[in-house]
A and B are shown apart, each in its own frame.
Chain A
Amino acid sequence: MAQQANVGELLSMLDSPMLSVRDDVTAVFKENLNSDRGPMLVNTLVDYYLETNSQPVLHILTTLQEPHDKHLLDRINEYVGKATTRLSILSLLGHVVRLQPSWKHKLSQAPLLPSLLKCLKMDTNVVVLTTGVLVLITMLPMIPQSGKQHLLDFFDIFGRLSSWCLKKPGHVAEVYLVHLHASVYALFHRLYGMYPCNFVSFLRSHYSMKENLETFEEVVKPMMEHVRIHPELVTGSKDHELDPRRWKRLETHDVVIECAKISLDPTEASYEDGYSVSHHISARFPHRSAEVTSSPYVDTQNSYGSATSTPYSTSRLTLLNTPGQLPQTLSSPSTRLITEPPQVWCQLATLWSPSMVCGMTTPPTSPGNVPPDLSHPYSKVFGTTGGKGTPLGTPATSPPPAPLCHSDDYVHISLPQATATPPRKEERMDSARPCLHRQHHLLNDRGLEEPPGSKGSVTLSDLPGFLGDLASEEDSIEKDKEEAAISRELSEITTAEVEPVVPRGGFDSPFYRDSLSGSQRKTHSAASSAQGTSMNPEPLHSSLDKLGPDTPKQAFTPIDLPCGGADESPAGGRECQTSVETSILTPSPCKIPPQRRGGFGSGQPPPYDHLFEVALPKTAHHFVIRKTEELLKKAKGNTEEDGVPSTSPVEVLDRLIEQGADAHSKELNKLPLPSKSVDWTHFGGSPPSDEIRTLRDQLLLLHNQLLYERFKRQQHALRNRRLLRKVIKAAALEEHNAAMKDQLKLQEKDIQMWKVSLQKEQARYSQLQEQRDTMVTKLHSQIRQLQHDREEFYNQSQELQTKLEDCRNMIAELRLELKKANNKVCHTELLLSQVSQKLSNSESVQQQMEFLNRQLLVLGEVNELYLEQLQNKHSDTTKEVEMMKAAYRKELEKNRSQVIQQTQRLDTSQKRILELESHLAKKDHLLLEQKKYLEDVKLQARGQLQAAESRYEAQKRITQVFELEILDLYGRLEKDGLPKKLEEEKAEAAEAAEERLDCCNDGCSDSIVGHNEEASGHNGETKTPRPSSTRGSSGSRGGGGSSSSSELSTPEKPPNQRAGPFSSRWETTMGESSASIPTTVGSLPSSKSFLGMKARELFRNKSESQCDEDGVVISSLSESIKPELGKDLGVEAKTSLNLDGPHPSPPNPDSVGQLHIMDYNETHHEHS
């Protein structure tokens, strides 16, 4: 709490007059703000500001840093909701926003924006609305991307406010409406500049509705005349406009300039990028605007009557003076001129280029670079000066001493000229004339007006100079016009389109006044105020207000509406003088149309424009020349000031302000005058509070507007700074370029120098080359000579060498010859020695020969002797020899035949051998096959035999079992048969027998009795019923046989010891075969076949070896059988051992031994 109190104190201290204290306190606040993050301090500051409007607090609030922005915005938002604080808080917001705080981007997210929009949509207070709209317009470029969400709100606001401008709901002061209109106009520009596509589509949809059509015609259409076609309309799209990327690159001032670029309004427009046309057009507008009061303004003024502006009192007065005529006059010009303005403006638009060129040639910089801020003052000044002049001038300068001839000339000339300069002239004329008038009036009537006039003259230094000339000229011109118009009226309707002269007729004089009065809408006010000096304007106004705020309204409304209306009839004739007065009012509508045909003053085309064109060619010329000179002298600005008037709401507002200022100044001037006070008293003492309020509001609005404009200026300044930097950069670059160029030139020079030296060097080089060439040729020739010499020498040497060779050859030949000769000598020597030897040999041979010849002779004699002897004996031996030969031959023959025979025999025998061998092989093969077969058969037989044996075995088993059974039964029978024995005993015996049998099966010894029984049973059963006899062993089985034979052998050993075995064997075999089990008998054939086999085998043996004896045959036979028998015997022996094992043991061990011996003997014998 203490702190709060402290804050209160501090706040109060803030407003202390002491500068140092104030600074200290501000510093304290700022420190606090830096340290404290809470919203409290900000809130208190805001509250305090709302209470006191303290400037230091405002300063603190506007420089708030980041963390407090939210609190501030929240607070503002809070207050915006309350109707009472809305206005002041909005102005605070405006202050804050205009300073572009670092947190401006947060504005789009803050809840403040929607509430502001809501307020704009809902509020009905014009002051609040205007302030809000201005704040919004200021904010828009800072938060362009927020358009997405609130775009429709913006548009709605625009639609609402634009309709407001027209419909004026409630008791809205006209003056407010002017402000509102200006702000709406700015909003229009901003919206159109930022979101053209969306905005245009909004306009299209919004104003396609019937109820909005009027608004469009009246309000929006004129606005549209101040803008070019936005390029985005062609290239962009709705979405593209809202794309945040598009806005990211643009800063706030960029956006502002972007919007300004679109504008054709000279006060708004920016000419940065060389929009020359617009620039010129706009350059022209200012003049208009300077001269012409815009219709809305006028309307408001009129309708509102004297409510605000004193200047209108004059018009009021005039109106009052001629009330009856008013409607007509008002309507007539408008109707007449409806058709014309378009054409004129078309002309202007199309034909503007040349003049534009002119403008370019003469003053290229003037209008474009002049910021609106600059132009305004000028125009204002102008307006004020002119304004003061006109009202008085209208009546005063009416005298028309005009040459008629001009008009016609002009009619002809004007059109052609129109292409080149007329518009310019016009403007100049327009602008000039008012000036003139003003000056005129000022000079003539008012000494009071001097200061403003001088102002104007100061700004347009030359103007005053030629104003005088023009003034006089104007009069004549007026005359001209008059007459020309009359003639027109009578004759010309042919070129109706192009020549808006028709109205001229009626407007001659009025036009002039029109132009005068209308050219400066401020002039009215100014003039009125000026007049008011004599007439006490304000009371008049008030009275008028009271008297006829309604009537004039009604009277004027026709002006607005009749634009398309039916007031065509009222023709020109009548209008001449009567309309003079009314025309004072009309001009404004008249002037407006050129800029906005469909707009406020759509009905009123600019007749005087045209008239000027037509009527004042020369003056225009003059003026242009003057102007150009003037402009050449003055770098800029003037043209603009002199430019064509425009009726943009801004201008209207400007003028309003100017007039207000004028009035104020005048009032200040008039203060000493008694009349005023008298008036005041006369009308009721004190001025009405209502008036004061409205004035205050207006002041506030003006202040807002001013702040807005200042903001715009700041943006422009920002931009200018940037551009300047760019320019400087460009200049630096140019400098750099120039320097580079210089360097280039220097280098080129160097290069040329080098080239020259190069040439020199080349020449020297070529010289040297030549010298060298000559030297080379000389040397070459020398070399050639030397070579030649050398070759000669070479040839000589070669010749000499050949000679040398020849000589050498000769020497060699000679040597060879020498050698040959030597050889020959040697050879001959050798030959000689040989010959000598041969000689000696031949001598010895000769000696031998001689000896031999002697021998030969001797031998020959002996031979002859022997020959003789031989011949004597030869006859006897021949016979014998022949005989012997014959014998020998015969013998030979014989032997030969024998040999042949022998060979033949051999052959046959060989063949035979071969045959036999093959036979043998075949036989062998056959034998092999036979063997195989035999083997096969053997196997087969063995298989069968095995089966049979197994069967036999089985049989044996069966029989055994049977025997067992029988024995068992017997045992039982015996037991049964023994009556004396107890049955129990029998049973025991049977059991015992059974047990025994079991034991027997296991190989245990049987009881003798059991054995005997068994044996007897066996014999009896198998073969014979009789029991075993002495020799019945033949019937018994093998075992028995053997035993019997042994028995036999024992007694009959001596008689047939040798044959015994055989016989016994045979016997046994036979016996066996005859008496053994039928199966064995059955198997005999097989054994027989087996025997046959054996026989074959024997035969084979025989064929192989024929040296066997019969006995051996038998033995071998027996032997071959023996295994079989042996087997049988073995089996039987086994069985006998099994069955009869105990039996042999009792008879005699000797017999067994005998048997063994016998066996041994047999085998021994066989082997032996």
Chain B
Amino acid sequence: MTEDSQRNFRSVYYEKVGFRGVEEKKSLEILLKDDRLDIEKLCTFSQRFPLPSMYRALVWKVLLGILPPHHESHAKVMTYRREQYSDVLHALNVIRFVSDATPQVEVYLRMYQLESGKLPRSSSYPLEPEDEAFLAIAKAMEEMVEDTVDCYWIIRCFVNQLNTKYQDSLPQLPKAFEQYLNLEDSRLLTHLKMCSAVSRLPYEIWFKRCFAGCLPESSLQRVWDKVVSGSCKILVFVAVEILLTFKIKVMALNSAEKITKFLENVTQAFYAITF
């Protein structure tokens, strides 16, 4: 009741009419007011609605376990995190792995490598595909989150989540993608198969990098909202939707290389659409 009274009395009406998420911010605030944050609720919320950008970082941090559910310990934990960040950064500086000139993204990567114990002996060593994905995600995240500490932590936890929680489900995604595409538009799928482009679709970008660098930031944020809240299937749907959106163009392309190339450069196409 209290919750209802705090909320806008029109919200029910809005929902009926079909404006979803008018009161998202408010309800999110209500959710965030709980002393012990209810992770479950936050998960469902972020899966259902796009997060307001001002709370996105906080919610992500909570959902990714960077911050504990208790408000009291937030400050303290955050200081820990910060110290840890500075320590690691310091260490990297000390061993001269990074310098001020090093791009932030790479700093994040090195820090992550250090923390996961995978730091190569020299920074000149060639990067592995994992690292490439990390870099892409970090690059996207860097634009979304301002604070470097937060950014680092979110990247780190995000990647950890991908590597741990979705470890099993990620390889299944391409199959799921085919299945859904078949449901949605079998012609397109047959076309893709004809061009033998199904196996060569940019699954790497879509599922390993979670569309980092492939979608514009605002869209990416929404997608990642879902990913962070524990659903990796969203990636499949996004991929299917991208294909459907550019169906005509894709249908026009005949060779697998072209299709792949086009889909890899979908961002430009999106920009072309939006602008």
Contact = CB atoms under 8 A, between A and B. Distances in A.
Contact of A961 (B69, B81, B119): B119
B20 interface: no
A950 B73 contact: no
Interface in B73-105: 73, 76-77, 80-81, 83-84, 87-88, 90-91, 94-95
Contacts of A994: 121
A1001 interface: yes
A940 B80 CA distance: 14
A174 B214 CA distance: 125
Given A958-B88, A958-B91, A961-B114, A947 B69 contact: no
A939 B91 contact: no
A942 B95 CA distance: 32
A763 interface: no
Contacts of B81: 947, 950-951
Contact of A951 (B83, B90, B114): B83
A960 B77 contact: no
B268 to A, nearest CB: 39
A948 B87 CA distance: 13
A997 interface: yes
A1004 to B, nearest CB: 13
Contact of A948 (B65, B80, B117, B118): B80
Given A958-B91, A961-B95, A939 B36 contact: yes
Nearest to B67: A943
B104 to A, nearest CB: 19
Contact of B95 (A943, A951, A965): A965
Interface in A956-986: 957-958, 960-962, 965
A17 to B, nearest CB: 109
Nearest to B94: A962
Contacts of B83: 951
B257 interface: no
A997 B121 contact: yes
B68 interface: yes
B128 interface: no
A944 interface: yes
A957 B77 contact: no
B114 A957 contact: yes
A936 B70 contact: yes
A962 B87 CA distance: 12
A243 interface: no
B72 interface: yes
A99 interface: no
Interface in B41-70: 65, 67-70
B130 interface: no
A944 B73 contact: yes
A954 interface: yes
B266 to A, nearest CB: 36
B88 A944 contact: no
A961 B73 contact: no
Given A939-B70, A953-B115, A947 B95 contact: no
Contacts of A960: 117
Interface bracket on A? 20 to 34
| Residue of A939, A943, A948, A965 with most partner-chain B CB within 10 A | A943
A936 B73 contact: no
B69 A943 contact: yes
B242 to A, nearest CB: 36
Interface in B88-143: 88, 90-91, 94-95, 114-115, 117-119, 121
Given A936-B36, A961-B91, A943 B77 contact: yes
B30 to A, nearest CB: 20
A1001 B77 contact: no
Contacts of A943: 67-70, 73, 77
Contacts of B70: 936, 939-940, 943
Interface in A77-113: none
A632 B36 CA distance: 148
A954 B88 contact: yes
A423 B237 CA distance: 127
Contact of A962 (B65, B77, B91, B118): B91
A74 to B, nearest CB: 80
A962 B69 contact: no
B117 A957 contact: yes
Contacts of B87: 951, 954-955, 958
B84 A951 contact: yes
A497 interface: no
Nearest to A942: B68
A946 B84 CA distance: 12
Contacts of A735: none
A998 interface: yes
Contacts of B118: 1001
A940 B95 contact: no
A962 B90 CA distance: 11
B118 to A, nearest CB: 8
Contacts of A965: 94-95
B68 to A, nearest CB: 3
B143 to A, nearest CB: 25
Contacts of B88: 954, 957-958
Contacts of A940: 68, 70, 72-73
B94 A1001 contact: no
B74 to A, nearest CB: 9
A128 B115 CA distance: 141
Nearest to B66: A947
A1001 B117 CA distance: 7
A783 to B, nearest CB: 94
Interface string A926-951: 00000000001001101110111011
Interface string B228-251: 000000000000000000000000
A687 B121 CA distance: 167
A994 B120 CA distance: 10
B161 to A, nearest CB: 15
Nearest to A952: B84
Contacts of B95: 961-962, 965
Contacts of A962: 91, 94-95
B36 A958 contact: no
Given A946-B65, A948-B80, 10 more contacts: A940-B72, A943-B68, A944-B77, A946-B68, A947-B84, A951-B84, A958-B91, A958-B114, A962-B94, A962-B95
- What 8 A-B pairs are tightest by C-beta distance, nearest first? A943-B68, A958-B91, A947-B80, A951-B84, A947-B77, A940-B70, A954-B84, A965-B95
16 contacts: A939-B69, A940-B72, A940-B73, A947-B81, A947-B84, A948-B80, A950-B81, A951-B80, A951-B84, A954-B87, A954-B115, A958-B88, A958-B91, A958-B114, A961-B119, A1001-B118
